[in-house]
Amino acid sequence: MGGLLFLAFAYFAVGQAAANRNDAQTAADAAALAAAQDRRDQLAGAWVQALLDPTEWQDIFDGKAKGLGLSCWRADQLAAQNDADVLSCLPDGLLGYTVVVETNDTVGDSIVPGTEDEKSQETATAVIEPRCTFELPTGDEGGDELPPLTCEGREWDLDPKGPEELLPKPEDLFDVHLAD
């Protein structure tokens, strides 16, 4: 009977550790996605600013826009909302972020000695992928017209004099997802 009770407590300790690790992974995923989404929004803003100069578009879609700010502040916010702290947040190339978080909660008391102060750490990477393609006109082709922008099969007829609501949104221009 004592052996069964010990085994039950051991399974409980493993469950506590697994739950804490899952909490850390959730916080890391949310933090990495938040940083990448902030960068995506900045890239989309840069694209709107460069709308009349299509020669700058490819650099923006490649993540090379001028004047981009830091995005790790969003990772800090989302980690905190998930009861964790960001240990590191680094750009992963021009179109991604890798975030390491640690849970604020410990595994807790169990029959396994030394676990009461253990916290879980996890890492996640989120990437930004451009969804759009375009072809710059050659020579006198096109004149003052903007080239058509095709995003995931949808062609946008861009009118710089039209309302901004008719322009693609950040989520139309870029996809943000966790890396494998």
pLDDT tens string 92-126: 999 999 999 999 987 655 555 556 678 899 999 99
Does 79 reside within a domain? yes
State how many domains the chain has. Answer: 1
pLDDT computed for residue 76 by the predictor: 97
How far is residue 164's CA from residue 168's CA, in Å, rounded to a whole number?
Answer: 9
Contacts of 118 by beta carbon, 8 Å cutoff, 6+ apart: 17, 106, 107
Interior angle at CA 73, CA 99 and CA 42, nearest 5: 100
pLDDT of residue 173: 98
Q: What pLDDT shows up at residue 2?
A: 57
CB atoms within 10 A of CB 158: 18
User: Can you tell me the distance from the alpha carbon of 45 to that of 131, in angstroms, rounded to the nearest whole number?
Assistant: 15
Task: Report if residue 145 sits inside a domain.
Answer: no
Please give the average per-residue pLDDT across 143-159, as a whole number: 88
146 belongs to a structural domain: no
Residue 142 lies in a domain: no
Domain span at residue 46?
Answer: 1-130+174-179
pTM of this prediction exceeds 0.85: no
